[in-house]
Amino acid sequence: MKKITSLVFLMSLLLFFGYRSQGQTILTLEKAMEIAVVNSPSIQGTLLNLQRTTESLNAQRAGLKSKFALSVNPIDYSNSRKFDNRTSSWFTNKLINSSGTFRVDQPILATNGKISLVNTFGWQSNTSDATGRPIVNNVFLNNLYLSLSQPLFTYNRTKVALKTLELNNENAQLSYAMQRLALEKTVSQLFYNVYMAQMSLSIRQDENDNTQKSYDIIKNKVDAGLAAKEQLFQAAVNLETAKSSLASARVSLESAKDQFKQYIGMDIFEEISVITDVSVAPIEVDGKKALEHGLATRMELRQRQISIENSQFDLIAIKAQNEFKGDLSLSIGMSGDDPTLKNVYDKPTQSPHYGITFNIPIFDWGQRAAQIRAQNAVVNTQKLNYSNQEIQIKVDIRQVIRNLSNLKDQISIALQNQQNSQLTYDINLERFKNGDLTSMDLNLYQVQLSNNKMAYAQALINYKLELLNLKIQSLYDFTTNQPVIPEQYLKAKNN
């Protein structure tokens, strides 16, 4: 097996240097992944969603800090005619004022309330002829107060909004990590498709060369009168068939390259070739460990939990519709006025204010109860989805383990078939040279050898891809005996 593996790797090296001489870009699987992570449209879309949820969360957290605001009214002038009910007379009032308000608002996360410190300072000039003669009043004003507004008997909307954004951001991080794993799987599949197409082209080229040699041998024999002329006709058919297969292999290779370049985000007109070592040593997999690690770390389960939590928050919001609740408002402050600025607070006026209001639902014809029952069904559906996801993870991991066991047997069988077909071809090639075998029969052995070479390489690749699938399913790399927990998932768990 080591000999065959070395030959396969040598073929890859020959392809590498052959294509490099033609000015092509040489890609390894690792390099292809680096390109895909940067350029893949699917990854870019997931990253944009992650950026959106992250910035929304940052904005919500920033909103929990103190907000400072200043509003300024440089000048306000009015001259109006008004009616005085006390004297049943009209008078003219002219008002000029200038003011500014500075306020600090601090949301209270623990109670969903808000506390505010507000100071309004201004100057006004008021002229009125209500008494029959003009009276002018010029005064400085200042109003300073501390206020509190607090909802009562209802859920904390600020906390729920923050937690919802945190869950959305965590879900986006999980989606990105899962997309990276899915990207690795698809890139690997397409990469190996190109590799197999390159190998097929190389094998078809060998077939063509061997068929050409067979044709030349038959032609020489026919020309020398040592073989029947019909054998030359058959050799010509075999040669044309080999040329057709070679042309088809070239077309298949270019198509595989285009699909690969499109997916990883490369220019489809860029010439590339791939190089890799497909040899793999079958390993023993601990099925119990794979199941336990998968159930403990699979990100899909956490996403299901997030869906359950979000549906429960929706249930809280529905229960709050048409609910009994109250609002408390409280403010304490003082105001002062005086024509002289420094004397504004010589005679301050205390200005306390408090109030409480209640919303008391009476009858809604069962609307709220029906909405609660409907949302409870949604919550139970999400819980059922979580349970089904657990079962699906177990099924998938068990299936992968069975596939790996079967693929190990397939590798051994494919290797034996390749070795046998190589010996068979070598023996019959000598028979053909000695005139004991027709070109048609030799062509059958040539095709059998080519097919078995492809089958062995495909068996190795299938095993490598299934090992990768096991890593994705269990989030554990059994080739290195290390867990595979993406950095984004660790951050999400720590939030």
**Domains along the chain with CATH numbers:** 2-56+162-308+379-494 (1.20.1600.10), 68-108+113-154+324-360 (no CATH)
In this structure, is the dihedral angle defined by the CA atoms of residues 450, 283, 36 and 389, taken in order, positive or negative?
A: positive
Closest CA relative to residue 467, chosen from 196, 276, 264, 284? 284
Q: What is the pTM of this model?
A: 0.76
pLDDT exceeds cutoff 70 at 491:
no
Tell me how crowded residue 83 is: count the other CB atoms within 10 A of its CB. Answer: 9
Closest CA relative to residue 317, chosen from 172, 178, 161? 161
Kindly state the tokens that stand for 116: 């505010």
35 phi and psi, to 5 degrees? -65, -45
The whole-number pLDDT of residue 486 equals 54
**CA-to-CA distance for 87 and 19, rounded, in angstroms?**
105
CA 443 to chain CA centroid, Å, is: 51
The whole-number pLDDT of residue 22 equals 52
The whole-number pLDDT of residue 415 equals 92
Mean pLDDT of 167-185: 90
- Decide: helix, strand or coil at residue 82: strand
The string over 95-110, giving b where at least 16 C-beta atoms fall within 10 Å of a residue's C-beta and e elsewhere, is eebebeeeeeeebeee
3-state DSSP percent of the chain in helix, strand and coil, to 5:
60, 20, 20
Amino acid at site 230: E
**CA-to-CA distance for 19 and 3, rounded, in angstroms?**
24
Tens of pLDDT along 322-378? 888 999 999 999 888 888 888 888 888 888 888 999 998 888 888 889 999 999 999
Confidence of residue 218 (pLDDT cuts 50, 70, 90): confident
Return the bridge partners of 90, or none. Answer: 83
Q: Which residue has the higher pLDDT, 396 or 15?
A: 396
Supply the mean pLDDT for the chain: 87
Beta strands in 322-380 (DSSP E): 325-338, 349-350, 353-359
Does residue 299 contact residue 173 with C-beta atoms inside 8 Å? no
The whole-number pLDDT of residue 376 equals 95
Query: What Cα–Cα distance (Å) separates residue 330 from each residue in 115, 120, 402, 435?
Result: 9, 18, 69, 111
Tens of pLDDT along 235-288? 888 889 889 989 999 999 999 999 999 999 888 899 999 998 888 888 888 889
The whole-number pLDDT of residue 1 equals 41
Tens of pLDDT along 412-422? 999 999 999 99
pLDDT exceeds cutoff 70 at 186:
yes
DSSP 451: H
* % of the chain exceeding 90 in pLDDT: 51
Tens of pLDDT along 282-328? 888 888 999 999 998 889 999 999 999 999 999 999 998 888 899 99
